[in-house]
């Protein structure tokens, strides 16, 4: 059995949380941003040679057009405090809430329920379109609150200064508020809205999605709220002590489940458990397994039975130690049904292994996303064994937030 421990003390020494210094290849990727029109931005000339060599790769990691052109005005954003209310509008799914809240926080808004929050706060506005509007293309849906099941949600006071919407059910509310409030509101939509993008102030589309158009800015994977500061704080919580074993490396396992594109079949379950058992037997690791509300009950029961005695299995009760699992992990295994979970895992700079579930229907967008992350050196397929590599984590959220602050200050 191969145990990954220090031979000198036989006590496992956990690597520092600090991100490894990126290689020149990844520095070039990160600093060399391309515009949406395919033109090279006026970034630092030190990376000119790498730009020519790595043109396709850097384009994959491009964040938005004219980022370099905004750098000389960055002091405007840094010195301008955000004001008013931010509405995070979506269907209310966990992945969408993570993206909208993560961006709102990066812009400078605090949760509404935070007792220490000042005037600039954000709140979740969960919206769903009513029948028959939810079955129609956007070209046939009026930009009106009356198409929602609960239109009164958009008339609440105070009205927002910033709207961060996400997903199909967030499109019409954001367009309606922009039409109603005009320059009094700044609207940002996350994900491909599958409609004319000129109605938003900004549209943030992951590179693996096909949508393009006016005001569109590309991101690498999903936006999120995982930051080095939050990870460091999570290392010192009471929940953190439950996850670690000083003599064993920690493998955090993040499980999703069935959705519109993936099943979690019996074959998937058996294959996953075989690989997890191999990790324990051959590498002597400790597992910290976190399930979601989509994880099949059978998986939860079997986890408790097979690993509950010597590993940490979150049973859904009490505080979810999600940030602790990310912060303390030496390796991460995550199911591939969630773009948000995979992207958040790579924010740690730890080796991330993706367990691919069986497709219920062809998942072309997911395939493109996973291929992009693998080719960028961010993730690898989970084969039941461990390996180590270094990479520069995607870090689009703070860059997008800076641009939003600039644009809001100018509006």
Domain with residue 159: its CATH number is 3.40.50
Q: Is residue 62 part of a domain?
A: no
Query: Residue 310 is part of a domain; what is its CATH number?
Result: 3.40.50.2000
Q: How many domains does the chain have?
A: 2
134 with 98, same domain: the answer is yes
Q: What is the DSSP string of 240-294?
A: HHHH-BTTB-EEEEE-----SSB---HHHHHHHHHHHHHHHHHH--EEEEE--TT
Q: Is residue 41 part of a domain?
A: no
244 with 326, same domain: the answer is yes
| pLDDT classification of 316: cutoffs 50, 70, 90 | confident
The DSSP element (H or E) to which 51 belongs, if any, is helix 48-53
Q: What pLDDT score was predicted for residue 80?
A: 61
Q: Is residue 9 part of a domain?
A: no
149 with 180, same domain: the answer is yes
Q: Is residue 25 part of a domain?
A: no
Q: Is residue 29 part of a domain?
A: no
Q: The dihedral of CA 363, 364, 369, 372: what is its sign?
A: positive
Please state which of the ranges 33-37, 46-50, 99-103 shows the lowest mean pLDDT: 46-50
272 with 155, same domain: the answer is no
- Give the span between the Cα atoms of 11 and 308, in whole angstroms: 23
pLDDT in tens, 287-315: 999 999 999 999 999 999 999 999 999 98
pLDDT in tens, 67-100: 444 444 444 445 467 889 999 999 999 889 999 9
Q: Is residue 120 part of a domain?
A: yes
CA torsion 378→256→15→279, rounded to 10°?
-100
Picking from 344, 335, 62, 342, the residue whose alpha carbon sits closest to that of residue 207 is 62
189 with 240, same domain: the answer is no
Q: What pLDDT score was predicted for residue 30?
A: 36
Q: Which domain holds residue 268?
A: 228-381
234 with 210, same domain: the answer is no
Average pLDDT over every residue of 399-407: 95
Sheet with 312-313, strands from edge to edge, namely: 312-313, 286-290, 250-254, 331-335, 352-355, 379-381
Q: Is residue 304 part of a domain?
A: yes
Picking from 107, 84, 175, the residue whose alpha carbon sits closest to that of residue 403 is 107
pLDDT at 31 over 50: no
154 with 262, same domain: the answer is no
- Give the span between the Cα atoms of 223 and 101, in whole angstroms: 9
pLDDT in tens, 336-366: 999 999 999 999 999 999 999 999 999 999 9
CA torsion 50→51→52→53, rounded to 10°?
50
Average pLDDT over every residue of 104-119: 86
pTM: 0.79
- C-alpha distances in Å from residue 114, one per residue of 110, 111, 118, 236, 322: 7, 5, 9, 21, 20
213 with 101, same domain: the answer is yes
194 with 277, same domain: the answer is no
- Give the span between the Cα atoms of 236 and 15, in whole angstroms: 16
pLDDT at 252 over 50: yes
302 with 377, same domain: the answer is yes
pLDDT at 189 over 80: yes
Q: Is residue 2 part of a domain?
A: no
78 with 208, same domain: the answer is yes
264 with 204, same domain: the answer is no
């Amino acid at each position: 059995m191969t145990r990954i421990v220090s031979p000198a003390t036989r006590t496992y020494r956990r690597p520092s949380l600090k991100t490894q210094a990126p290689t020149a290849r990844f520095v070039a990727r990160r600093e060399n941003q391309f515009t949406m029109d395919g033109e090279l931005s006026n970034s630092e000339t030190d990376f000119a040679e790498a730009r020519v060599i790595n043109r396709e790769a850097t384009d994959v990691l491009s964040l938005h057009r004219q980022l370099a052109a905004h750098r000389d005005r960055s002091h405007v954003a840094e010195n301008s405090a955000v004001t008013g209310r931010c509405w995070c509008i979506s269907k209310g799914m966990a992945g969408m809430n993570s993206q909208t809240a993560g961006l709102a926080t990066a812009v400078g808004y605090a949760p509404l329920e935070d007792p220490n929050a000042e005037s600039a706060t954000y709140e979740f506005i969960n919206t769903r379109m009513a029948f028959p509007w939810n079955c129609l293309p956007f070209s046939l849906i009026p930009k009106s609150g009356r198409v929602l099941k609960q239109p009164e949600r958009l008339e609440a006071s105070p009205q927002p200064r910033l709207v961060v919407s996400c997903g199909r059910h967030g499109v019409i509310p954001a367009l309606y508020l922009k039409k109603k409030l005009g320059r009094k509101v700044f609207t940002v939509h996350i994900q491909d809205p599958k409609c004319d993008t000129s109605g938003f102030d900004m549209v943030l589309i992951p590179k693996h999605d096909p949508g393009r158009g006016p005001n569109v800015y590309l991101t690498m994977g999903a936006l999120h709220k995982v930051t080095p500061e939050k990870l460091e704080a999570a290392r010192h919580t009471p929940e953190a002590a439950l996850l670690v074993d000083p003599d064993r490396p920690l493998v955090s396992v993040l499980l999703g489940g069935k959705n519109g594109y993936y099943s979690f079949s019996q074959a998937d379950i058996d294959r996953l458990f075989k690989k997890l058992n191999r990790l324990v037997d051959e590498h002597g690791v400790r597992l910290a397994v976190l399930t979601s509300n989509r994880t099949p009950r059978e998986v939860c029961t079997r986890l408790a039975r097979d690993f509950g005695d010597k590993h940490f299995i979150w049973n859904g009760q009490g505080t979810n130690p999600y940030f602790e699992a990310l912060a303390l992990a030496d390796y991460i295994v995550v199911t591939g049904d969630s773009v948000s979970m995979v992207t958040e895992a790579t924010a740690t700079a730890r080796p991330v292994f993706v367990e691919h579930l069986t497709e219920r229907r062809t998942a072309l967008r997911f395939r493109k996303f996973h291929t992009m992350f693998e080719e960028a050196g961010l993730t690898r397929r989970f084969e039941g064994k461990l390996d180590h590599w270094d990479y520069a984590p995607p870090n689009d959220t703070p860059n997008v937030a800076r641009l939003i602050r600039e644009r809001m200050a100018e509006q």
